[in-house]
Structure 1
Amino acid sequence: MVNLRQSLEIATGSIFNSKLRSTLTTLGIVIGVAAVIANVAIGASFNQYFDEEIGTIGSNFIYIGANEPNVLFDNELEVVQKTPGVVRASPLNEQVAEVTYMSDSRRVSIIGVAGDYDEVANIQLSEGNFLKDNDQYVAVIGNEISENTFDRRLANKNSIDITFRTRDGEVITQTFQVKGIIEKSEASFISTGMDSDTSIFIPISTMNEIIKVDDYSGIFAEGESIDTVTETSDEIDSRLGRYMGISSRDMEKDDVKPYFIVDQQELLEEAGSLSDALTALLTAVALISLVVGSIGIMNIMLVTVTERTSEIGLMKAIGYSNYDVLTMFIVESAVVGTLGGVLGVILGCGGAYAAATFMSLPVVLPAGKIFAGFVVSIVVGLIAGAYPANKAAKMKPVDALRHD
């Protein structure tokens, strides 16, 4: 009876005696496993990237935006601030205005915010200080505004002229002094289009006074924790709806409400669903390579059985059982699958690392899924080799020995 060690030795010898054939057989598994692992790893990298990007927008944030003017006022802000689970809330207004620095003018997003906006939105400064509620004609500018927007660098304590347009069309220009510069950030405010790198922040009281309004375009709130942020968001929605006189029946209809609410957990789930769908699609395509690889193993093993028919007949004539022959061919298929799996894991991890680095994504190599890919390669080898091995085992010694 042939033991496992002898089967491995025979299988290894057969593989190395036919290097070209073995290489071509293994190649299909290598490509399939590498593609699956690379796609799964890139999907995990995208997931982490989205989590990090959304996380830098704010801490457990909830954004309430107005669908039209004259919806959110101080009373609505107070409703949000008093909602259980809300740590702090900052009103904001936004307008694209003309900004002039040393006779050089550019169109820039101007955002009016309260003094605690930097805490709610995770704003970090490289120079100066953030706004305070009693500030008036001062501004905090994004890194891109400071470094690249104008012909000359806009530094801290420099002055700029901002030209606003009121709702009735009046044009008003005011001078602001730069109070702080925000650190460069890759993240942007996904739901409102705000990007701290390319925006200028001014006190919201000053902005509303200039453009002659008393309402807000949005309210940016911070919840107590990421685990309860959706619950807090739902409570804000319920309280605002009741305050505005919206019936419970209409609360389920987003097109009826004059505002919308987005929270961090919701964005994380949407980003995760998108990433998972993309990963599943790419992995499904990659699995086709594994199927092709398994067909290759089956074909090559069938050729091997045909080539070694006389050898099989001799083995059975000297006492090898059907089980022994079956085991040897199954082990050979498993060895091919294992070699393909090892090389596929190495190639897949290397490809995932290179792709993530090229796309400036965090490198994530999920060990569990990599191991699963390796196991799949072995299973594919076993399944693909089962039919040829069974065919070899059932050969009659006399017929096999007569084979030319």
Structure 2
Amino acid sequence: MVNMRQALDLGMGSINYAKLRSALTTLGIIIGVAAVVANVSLGASFNQFFTDELGTQGSNFIVIYSQDVNILHENELNIVRNTPGVEGVSPSKGQMAAVTFISSKRQIDVQGVSQDAENILNLQLEEGNFLTDKDKYIAVLGWKVANEKFNRNISINNYIDITFTRVDGSSITQKFKVKGILGSPENTFVQGGPDRDITIYIPIATMNELLNVSDYGGITAKTSSAESVSAVSDEVDRRLARTLGVSARDIDNDDVKPYRIFNQAEIIEQLNQLSNTLTILITLVALVALIVGSIGIMNIMLVTVTERTREIGLMKSLGFKKADILLLFIVESTLLGTIGGVFGVLLGVVGSYTVESYLSIPRVFPPYLILMGFSIAFVVGLVAGVYPANKAASMDPVEALRHE
């Protein structure tokens, strides 16, 4: 009766006897396991990256924007502000406007907001201060607006002229004093609303006064915690729908509602779904390498069975049972898979860390990936060895001994 220790010793001896052949056999397993481990790790890293990047655009935010004019007013703003769980709210209105500084003129996105936007949108200032609700003709500039858009850099206390176009087609120009300049954020993959680098922020009341309107283009709110953002968003949606005459049965129908609403949790979920889908697709491609690797192991084990036919016949004539022969060849096949798994996991770890460093994304490597890599390789080696082992174990000892 062959025990497991003996089977392992014999299996390692056979692998060592043909080192080059064994190395080439495990190559498919190494590549397949490395690809699976690296792809899953990168998927987790991108999920974390999206979460972190979205956090730089605001904290626990809910965004409501109008589908038409004269939808969102002070009444709707107060409804959002008074919803339980909301701890900050800012109306907004945006327009591309002609901005003049000294002798140069540029088209710049101008956003009217309230003082709460600094906290809700996580706006970081490089110099100066953010606007307050008491300010009138005051502007806060994105970093690129202040440093790259015009022939000369704009500093705080400088003045710029902003020309707005009203609904009736007329235009109005107003001089604004620069109160603050936003810091230059790192290049981000996720953008929450307007690109703040190339945006000018002014008081919402001033913007509506100049445009001769009273409605808001959107409302951005901040909830007290990340866990509550979805529940609070649903409650805000219900209250706005009731106020704006949307029936309960149509609350989920965006074609009926005069506004749209989304929150940070929904965006993160959508981005994670996209990342997970891409990870699954790439991993499925990587599994092809594992299939090729398993075929390679099966092929080499069949060759081994043929080479050791007389040995198998001798073992059977000495009293080795079918189960013993099965165990010997399955253990050898499983060892080939496991060895490939060890090197595959190591290569996957190095590969994922290299790509994550190159892309400057968070390094996330769930510990379960190590076990998953070994398990995949073990199972592939085990399955690939079943048929050759059964073929060896089923040989007739007399015929095997006659084999040349």
TM-score by length of 1: 0.94
Contact 1:158 1:177 in 2 (8 A): yes
Contact 2:50 2:190 in 1 (8 A): no
**Aligned-residue CA RMSD in angstroms?**
1.8
Report the Cα distance in structure 2 between the residues aligned to 1:38 and 1:313, rounded to whole angstroms: 44
Report the Cα distance in structure 2 between the residues aligned to 1:189 and 1:314, rounded to whole angstroms: 68
* Secondary structure of the corresponding residue to residue 251 of structure 2: helix
Superposed CA offset, 1:190-209 (max 9, x none)? 56x31212211111111112
Superposed CA offset, 1:56-113 (max 9, x none)? 2222111110111111111111111111111121111101112222322221111111
Report the Cα distance in structure 2 between the residues aligned to 1:2 and 1:155, rounded to whole angstroms: 84
Greater displacement, 299-308 / 146-155: 146-155
Q: What is the one-letter code of the residue matched to 2:113?
A: V
* Secondary structure of the corresponding residue to residue 35 of structure 2: helix
Q: Residue in 2 aligned with 1:102?
A: 102
| Aligned pairs (5 A) from 1:319-398 | 319-398=319-398
* Secondary structure of the corresponding residue to residue 227 of structure 1: coil
Greater displacement, 63-72 / 177-186: 177-186
| Aligned pairs (5 A) from 1:131-280 | 131-185=131-185, 186-187=187-188, 190=191, 193-280=193-280
| Aligned pairs (5 A) from 1:14-29 | 14-29=14-29
Contact 1:130 1:180 in 2 (8 A): yes
Shift of residue 318, structure 1, vs aligned partner: 3.6
The sequence identity of aligned pairs, in percent, is 54
Q: CA separation of 1:226/1:320 partners in 2, compared to 1, >3 Å: closer, same or farther?
A: same
Superposed CA offset, 1:171-202 (max 9, x none)? 222222222222223458756x3121221111
| Aligned pairs (5 A) from 1:300-311 | 300-311=300-311
Structure 2: gaps of 5 or more residues: none
Report the Cα distance in structure 2 between the residues aligned to 1:94 and 1:188, rounded to whole angstroms: 22
Q: CA separation of 1:384/1:136 partners in 2, compared to 1, >3 Å: closer, same or farther?
A: same
Report the Cα distance in structure 2 between the residues aligned to 1:112 and 1:52, rounded to whole angstroms: 26
Q: Residue in 1 aligned with 2:50?
A: 50
* Secondary structure of the corresponding residue to residue 140 of structure 2: strand
Greater displacement, 139-148 / 70-79: 139-148
Report the Cα distance in structure 1 between the residues aligned to 2:146 and 2:171, rounded to whole angstroms: 25
* Secondary structure of the corresponding residue to residue 92 of structure 1: strand
Superposed CA offset, 1:207-263 (max 9, x none)? 112222111100111112222212211211221122223333333422122111111
Greater displacement, 253-262 / 110-119: 253-262
Contact 1:41 1:366 in 2 (8 A): yes
Q: What is the one-letter code of the residue matched to 1:97?
A: A
Q: What is the one-letter code of the residue matched to 2:315?
A: M
* Secondary structure of the corresponding residue to residue 213 of structure 1: coil
* Secondary structure of the corresponding residue to residue 331 of structure 2: helix
Q: Residue in 1 aligned with 2:60?
A: 60
What number of residue pairs does the alignment pair up?
403
Structure 1: gaps of 5 or more residues: none
Contact 1:57 1:187 in 2 (8 A): no
Report the Cα distance in structure 2 between the residues aligned to 1:154 and 1:17, rounded to whole angstroms: 75
Q: Residue in 2 aligned with 1:312?
A: 312
Greater displacement, 238-247 / 87-96: 238-247
Shift of residue 22, structure 1, vs aligned partner: 0.9
TM-score by length of 2: 0.94
Report the Cα distance in structure 1 between the residues aligned to 2:14 and 2:43, rounded to whole angstroms: 39
Contact 2:53 2:190 in 1 (8 A): no
Superposed CA offset, 1:140-181 (max 9, x none)? 112222332223333333322222111112222222222222
